[in-house]
Chains A and B, each alone.
Chain A
Amino acid sequence: EVQLVESGGGLVQPGGSLKLSCAASGFTFSGSAMHWVRQASGKGLEWVGRIRSKANSYATVYAASVTGRFTISRDDSKNTAYLLMDSLKIEDTAVYYCTRYQLERTFDPWGQGTLVTVSS
């Protein structure tokens, strides 16, 4: 079964840092681009960023709202992607999903999401 499981969410103060993990199983993780998407409570989906495979030089790109603060990485030996979030702001509060980007240019599957709350 193709599956993604996020972890690492929690409560953090403004200006703090948090690192999310996304553990993959059931597919060839090393060959897949992985994306992060977030959703504030009651709001729509916002693309955060992505990391490509080793064959594509692990290239990363980010949404303007998180550029310079968030970093996506991966460990193919552990079938895991990461989202390191620094200088967190209250407006970063959201459920964060990881998802695989397929050849058809689709997001599938998605993890169950992990909640990040930025509050003092």
Chain B
Amino acid sequence: DIQMTQSPSSLSASVGDRVTFTCRASHTINSYLNWYQQKPGKAPKLLIYAASSLQSGVPSRFSGSGSGTDFTLTISSLQPEDFATYYCQQSYSAPLTFGGGTRVEIK
């Protein structure tokens, strides 16, 4: 199974900050990497697919990059509604696996 490791597990930031967090795969997954946002009590929401493609309707302050084993998600200017937990997920091979998540908290 491909293991997905996210770092940090949590971070504190302020509105307007640029934040970046990472996701590492235990084996190469090419660009088969998706990012989801989850708010408390809600289902995950797709943000980025294929490592860097922005899902329709997602604000352009979100961006993704990377290929192979190392990936990043960047929020260029953190907004109040962005405080949430972010998960990466590989769709390269079954079983499809998720990272442990990065929780973004208000500083």
Count chain B residues whose beta carbon lies closer than 8 angstroms to a beta carbon of A. Answer: 24
Known: A46-B98, A47-B96. A106 touches B34 (CB 8 A): yes
Q: B91 near A: Cβ within 8 Å?
A: yes
Q: A108 near B: Cβ within 8 Å?
A: yes
Binding site for B on A (CB under 8 A): 35, 44-47, 61, 63-64, 97, 104-113
A-B contact pairs, 22 of them (CB 8 A): A44-B98, A44-B99, A44-B101, A45-B36, A45-B44, A45-B87, A45-B89, A46-B98, A47-B95, A47-B96, A61-B94, A104-B49, A104-B50, A106-B46, A106-B55, A107-B89, A108-B55, A109-B43, A110-B44, A110-B45, A112-B42, A113-B43
B contact residues around A45 at 8 Å (CB):
36, 38, 44, 87, 89, 98, 101
In the A-B complex, list the 4 residue pairs whose CB atoms are closest, starting with the nearest.
A105-B91, A110-B43, A45-B98, A108-B46
